[in-house]
Amino acid sequence: HVQLVESGGGSVQSGGSLRLSCEASGYTSSSYCMGWFRQSPGKEREGVAVIDSEGTTSYADSVKGRFTISQDKAKNTLTLQMNSLKPEDTAMYYCASDAGRGERGIVMVVTCPARSWGQGTQVTVS
């Protein structure tokens, strides 16, 4: 049973920065890729960033050059550094992994077919 717990969200002014963290537990050793997706009311879910087990990263065009995804395998943590934030970045951000049984379906996070995700952390940019 994969558990993902996000933290680090909050409110920030346009141009500011936030750092999101995700603590993973459970069958994370079977994970090949992890990432972040976001969703806000009235908008489609959007895959933001992904990193695979070899450290290869991919980003949505909307965040390239502003967001950086990284992972610490020893600590089972995933991080999303968000700089130069814009009001359109306002959303609930979810940490996701391809590990798990996919009881809630599969969410495509850039290039990663995520089967598990956390409860989310809210990011508000004004």
pLDDT digit string, tens, across residues 65-107: 999 999 998 889 999 999 999 999 999 999 999 998 888 999 9
Q: Which two tokens stand for residue 60?
A: 């949505």
Mean pLDDT along residues 32-61: 95
Instruction: Name the average pLDDT for the chain.
Output: 94
Provide CB contacts within 8 A for 120, sequence distance 6+.
6, 92, 93, 94
Provide CB contacts within 8 A for 4, sequence distance 6+.
22, 23, 24, 95, 96, 97, 116, 117, 118
CA distance 124 to 126: 7
Q: What is the pLDDT of residue 55?
A: 93
Share of residues in the chain with pLDDT > 90 (%): 85
Q: What is the pLDDT of residue 13?
A: 98
Share of residues in the chain with pLDDT > 70 (%): 98
